[in-house]
A and B are shown apart, each in its own frame.
Chain A
Amino acid sequence: MVNITIDNKQVQVPENTTILRAAAMAGVKIPTLCYWEGLNEIGACRVCVVEVEGYDTLFTACNNTVEEGMVIRTNSKKARKARRTNVELILSQHNSNCASCVRSRNCALQTISNELNIQDQDIPFDKEVPLPKFNKDFPLIRDDSKCIKCMRCVQVCDNIENTHVWDVINTGSRTTVGVNSKYGRIEDSGCALCGQCIKHCPVGALRERDDTDRLLEAIDDPEKIVVMQIAPSIRTAWGEPFGLKPEFATVERLCTAFKAMGIDYVFDTNFTADLTIMEEGSEFVEKLKNAENEKFPLFTSCCPAWVRHAKAFYPDFVDQLSTAKSPQGMFGAVAKSYYADILKVDPSKIFCVSVMPCLAKKHECDIPNLNDACGDQDVDLALTNREVDRLIEMTHLIPQELEETELDQPLGIGSGGGNIFGATGGVMEAALRSAYFLVTGENCDPDAFKEVRGQGDWREYEFELAGTTLKIAVAHTLAATDRLLDALRKGEVQYHFVEVMACPGGCVNGGGQPIVDGFSRQIERADWLYTQDKNMQLRFCHENPSIVNIYKDYLTAPLSEKSHHLLHTDHHGWKMPGEE
């Protein structure tokens, strides 16, 4: 332990503690901008500078450590002045049209400027804002005029996702962030569209393509029947920007909001998550039965960022991806066939929208061979949770006052198994619950496989299933996934079944979820999905009455010809950039 003084407060902190952390322990807040704990501690913005007695130079609090007897002043005139100058310099190159910025009210630069009481007319520097040049049709959009070169996007892409799409380009005054020169343009890159760079961007330099107007157009089109699906993880987070707890911000309240916007039918992607388990679980059980002729492991394919990544960098594993479509994809196919039949309408009149925690889902719904129901695109539009929150604002709804409305049926019912899809390990747990039933004909304890929950980025387990020892693994983040795949390639590990999620923590922390600067809320959000699962009557995907009915009335059985046609896909039916 070392004894230090911060702003006249004496504290004892462990050795090697950063000044920033030590200050927090002393109840002193040092403002930061580029900092993200554990990921980006590089002192680039020079906002967290503090005065240390004995030195003229100011030091950054985020990446320098304390020593015995150190006397630190975080808010001295010198520190305040230097901090202010640095923020003013950043503002001089920042497009500060805050009124029309997607990150207005949720922008770290706006916050620090407000905290320092910086006002436009007092900034002594010329405005030199670079012109944005970027493809606005791609689901991920970068606006150079807003980038503050904090490097968080580079760090997350390098260290969490191991994809190296973002890189530092140019030198000197022209130094900025751009697509790694080995790729050229973003649309030619191996970007998985995990969207984690957006989640880590402190400002509006990175964002999703906003497709809200396409939804509004469809709503306004009298010919269209707008059908909405809500992904499992949405219920953990959509209320956050409005200060709502997930207990309050239910899918039923979201349903009310959607109905108020004019959406005709609101369903639950949990339903097709259950359906995915039926198909993928059956695929897995069949594979196990024919083990000697099959190649293992089977990989989950519900995360489209992971599918993109596999196709771009690990094409040798693409044939081992489950052919089952993702819940989003299955929903589209079912909505424009089974549900169109129920409504007795021409399926092409259905406009199928999803609200997803994800950017890659925007790409997934545009995959040309996902058109199996009626020849049109199965899912017309995927919106992120953030776009939906903006829609709620655009509709001038008061989130706190929304009543609950039951979802529509029969596609509005899902099991606890489907519900936990949104957390890392959730797909695996749901699949194991049902695989147990498919193999043994009886249900296990619904919590029999809860061991697979957790935050370790590469977890492995062994379970006995009807005399077979199943070796399974769960990976989240593409960096961990790459380690797992490299080990598989080298023959260092063997598994039967592997779940992969590109985002840290899974969809609850997806690239399309509400942004909280400096924090990832994956643990709290996952806990909420598990709490809901625990409190549900219906916990097994195969017991969902709507699932039982769709097989009875329409699909006949998992892996039937009709199921194959509607619910499975060929991952070779489209190409990633550079894929042969």
Chain B
Amino acid sequence: MSRLSITTKNQAQMTVETLYKDLERRIDASQPGLCPVDLAASFVHMCHAQSCGKCTPCRIGLGQLENLINKVLDGEADEATLKVIEETAEGIFFTADCAIGSEAARMVLKGIRGFREEYESHVRDGRCGGSHHQAIPCVSLCPAHVDVPGYISLIHEGRYEDAVNLIRKDNPFPAACGMICEHPCEADCRRNMVDDAINIRGLKRYAVEHEGDIKTPAIAESTGKKVAVVGGGPGGLSAAYYLSIMGHDVTVYEQRKQLGGMLRYGIPSYRLPREILDREIEGLKQTGFKTVTDTEIGKDITIADLRKENDAVFVSIGAHIDKKIGIEGEDAEGVTSAVDMLRAIGDDELPDYNGLDVVVVGGGNVAMDVARSAVRLGAKSVKVIYRRRKQDMTALDEEVEGAIADTVDIVDLHAPVRIEKDAQGKVKSLIAQPQMVGAISNGRPAPVNASASEVEFKCDLVIVAIGQGIDSNKLEREGIKVERGGRISALDTSDIEGLDGVFAGGDCVTGPATVIKAIAGGKVAAANIDEYLGFNHEIVNDIDMPRVRFSDHEPCGRVNMRELSPDERIKSFILMEEGMTDEEACQESGRCLHCDHFGYAAFRNGRRTKW
């Protein structure tokens, strides 16, 4: 008899573990708009299966909770039922012996408190209150609602020009987005249920790289209406592009030397090469809008003047001013902001960081852009100081990992306390207080001061990258209502209440967000400005689509983008990411499940060929 043995997993256990992974991916691919009460019932059902069965609350209680929630779903519950659910869940939470029971009850409690109205509407109306019409996941999650399955099917057929023109129906920046879009479209991709999301951004980039010359779309007959667009970033240029196609006479006013907004002055060229951006903007300008650069609102021109001279005005000034940390010594020479640094790079005025020790403060994507740019500018060392844990950074994981590969040193759990200067007032070091991870609030663990003593990071340069603000004071002086945080108060339709004919969109309304959100803001504004001017021009792309491909959906890995090796890429601002190869693009586009044809879209919310 052996006294001990090594525990090995049996076949069933190993299979169950793959099913866990399947379920995880499935949950990842959950679309918005599902009935939360129905989900609550199924979650508690799964939790119940995890119960060991020893204790009453978990063994019996979870099942009874599920029955009660099902009563709600079946329209057989009343207000008293909701009370019973809440009290039973509390009872289980307080009395369960272990987390299997208590955490299951906590989920139910979170739900009945967090989506109380959904529970109540089921009780009131005897049915689900929502109108949960499932949409095509990628299309609905793209803020600009680009016809993703449509262009992927065209890519698969080798019709790259058609593919990119189909994108331009909803998003005039396919090249920029192919490089740097945060691709919210991929988040709920139904292919996740099979293996992994489609690499939509990579396919878009591939199509653009193979499209040939940019063709100007047909321009509608001139309407004689004039529209001023304030701000030449992605939002403003998108509005200008669509309004020009609709036949309006558009002028874009830009504060800086060049057009592009954050695409030029926020995104370093190793991610979006300037020649690609310039080509894209030149393509947009073929629709005929005029541009006036080096012109600032509140200084060179006013909204009121523009409104007088034009039939409508679109304000999309973005979010371009820096935020301060608010610590002692921030005024030292050698402390700069991410905004200032990236702006200089945008105008090709590359600063020389040769031999400098650089400290970056922040944990977002901009902090990573700044740190990686500093490496490329020749810095001797680059440290990112961040007060939470690395995994709590808001920067995308791939950006953080890329920065580390680029020799950036991530120093997490350190909160900046003060900046020390030398006798000349120059930065000497950043002093930080070590932190310890603490309780979770709003979904992220908050850091608390650790008992350890302060740490000094000697440096020549501190770059603050803790977010951007909106330069909205000057607009407020012109009577535009500004909300807390400096955001312009505009409706979802981009109308500004009380200001006839003035619209706003993009970062200056949403706060610093993504390029594709700004593009969507410009698109929405274009539609509503057109309507305001008394027209109903439709932006149409009704090219012949290829026959829908059949597939058995055999699991297949996702083609990820490759990057130049760190050794090669950190020497200059050369484009870091490599495009897909032909065979990769063919395989990847073939993975698309075509939710525009298979599934709910065959009935409702299918392809839209115009807006």
A67, B552: Cβ atoms under 8 Å? Answer: no
CB within 8 Å of A: which of B101-152? 125-133
Q: Which residues of A contact B129 (CB under 8 A)?
A: 181
* Most chain A beta-carbon neighbours within 10 Å: one of B127, B130, B133: B127
Q: Does A96 reach chain B (CB closer than 8 Å)?
A: no
Q: Are A172 and B35 in contact (CB under 8 A)?
A: yes
Chain B nearest CB from A392 CB (Å) reads: 38
Query: Across the interface, do B548 and A151 meet the contact criterion of CB distance under 8 Å?
Result: no
Question: Residue B38 at the A interface, CB < 8 A?
Answer: yes
Contact between A43 and B35 (Cβ–Cβ < 8 Å)? no
Contact of B35 among A57, A168, A170 (CB under 8 A): A170
Partner of B603, one of A42, A67, A172: A42
> Is B49 close to A, CB under 8 A?
no
Tell me if B9 counts as interface (CB < 8 A to partner A). no
Whether B552 lies near A59 (C-beta < 8 A) is no
Contact B73 A174 (CB under 8 A): yes
Residues on A with beta carbons closer than 8 Å to the beta carbon of B551: 55, 57
Query: Is residue B540 within 8 Å, beta carbon to beta carbon, of the partner chain?
Result: no
Does A122 reach chain B (CB closer than 8 Å)?
Answer: no
B606 nearest CB across to chain A (Å): 10
A170 to B547, Cβ gap below 8 A? no
Taken together as a complex, chains A and B put the C-alpha atoms of A405 and B182 apart, in Å, by 79
B602 close to A42 (CB less than 8 A): yes
Interface size on B, residues (CB 8 A): 24
- Asked whether, in the complex, the Cβ of B547 is within 8 Å of the Cβ of A181, the reply is no
Please determine whether A44 and B547 come into contact, CB atoms closer than 8 angstroms. no
Q: Determine if B550 and A167 form an interchain contact, defined as CB atoms under 8 angstroms apart.
A: no
A-side interface residues, number (CB < 8 Å): 29
**Contact partner, B128, options A41, A64, A169, Cβ 8 Å:** A169
Interface residue from B126, B131, B550 paired with A59 (Cβ < 8 Å): B550
* B550→A171 contact, CB < 8 A: no
**Are A174 and B38 interface neighbours, CB within 8 A?**
yes
Asked if B34 and A67 sit within 8 Å, CB to CB, the answer is: no
| Complex interface: chain B residues within 8 A of A67 (CB) | 547
Q: Which residues of A contact B553 (CB under 8 A)?
A: 57
CB-defined contacts of B74 to chain A, threshold 8 Å: 174
Q: Is the CB of B133 within 8 A of A168?
A: yes
A178 to B550, CA, bound (A): 33
Q: Is the CB of A16 within 8 A of B38?
A: no
The reply to whether B550 and A57 contact each other, CB–CB distance below 8 Å, is yes
The interface residues of chain B lying within 8 Å CB-to-CB of A43 are 602
Considering the complex, give the chain A residue whose CB is closest to the CB of B544.
A16
A145 an interface residue at 8 Å Cβ cutoff? no
Residue of A nearest to B604 (CB): A168
Taken together as a complex, chains A and B put the C-alpha atoms of A168 and B73 apart, in Å, by 15
* Interface assignment of A538: CB less than 8 Å from any CB of chain B: no
Q: Is A63 in contact with chain B by the CB < 8 A criterion?
A: yes
Cβ of B127 and Cβ of A151 under 8 Å apart?
Answer: no
Which of chain B's residues have a CB closer than 8 A to the CB of A56? 552
Residues of chain B with a CB closer than 8 A to A3's CB: none
What is the CA–CA distance of A170 and B72 in the complex, to the nearest angstrom? 12
Per-residue interface assignment for chain A, residues 36 to 53, with 1 indicating a CB less than 8 Å from any chain B CB and 0 otherwise: 000001111000000010
> B132 near A171 (CB under 8 angstroms)?
yes
Asked whether, in the complex, the Cβ of B552 is within 8 Å of the Cβ of A171, the reply is no
Residues from chain B with a CB closer than 8 A to the CB of A155 are 603
Instruction: Check A65 for interface membership: any CB of B closer than 8 A.
Output: yes
Q: Which of A55, A169, A181 contacts B552 (CB 8 A)?
A: A55
A184 CB to nearest B CB, Å: 8
Specify which chain B residues have a CB less than 8 angstroms from the CB of A16 in the assembled complex: 547
Q: How far is the CA of A155 from the CA of B73 in the complex (A)?
A: 26
Nearest B residue to A62, CB-CB: B602
Q: Is the CB of A64 within 8 A of B125?
A: no
Complex-state Cα separation, A437 to B604, whole angstroms: 50
Asked whether, in the complex, the Cβ of B35 is within 8 Å of the Cβ of A171, the reply is yes
Q: Which residues of B contact A181 (CB under 8 A)?
A: 125, 127, 129, 131
Q: Which residue of B lies closest to A16 (CB)?
A: B547
Complex Cα spacing A272 to B127, Å: 46
- In the complex, the chain B residue whose C-beta lies closest to that of A182 is B131
Beyond known contacts A57-B552, A170-B127: 12 more, CB 8 A cutoff: A15-B547, A43-B602, A54-B550, A55-B551, A56-B552, A57-B551, A64-B548, A133-B126, A170-B73, A172-B38, A174-B38, A181-B125
Q: A residues engaging B (CB < 8 A)? A: 15-16, 41-44, 52, 54-57, 59, 63-65, 67, 133, 151, 155, 167-172, 174, 178, 181, 184
**15 contacting pairs across A/B (C-beta < 8 A):** A15-B547, A16-B547, A55-B550, A55-B551, A57-B550, A57-B552, A59-B550, A65-B547, A168-B604, A170-B127, A172-B35, A181-B125, A181-B127, A181-B131, A184-B125
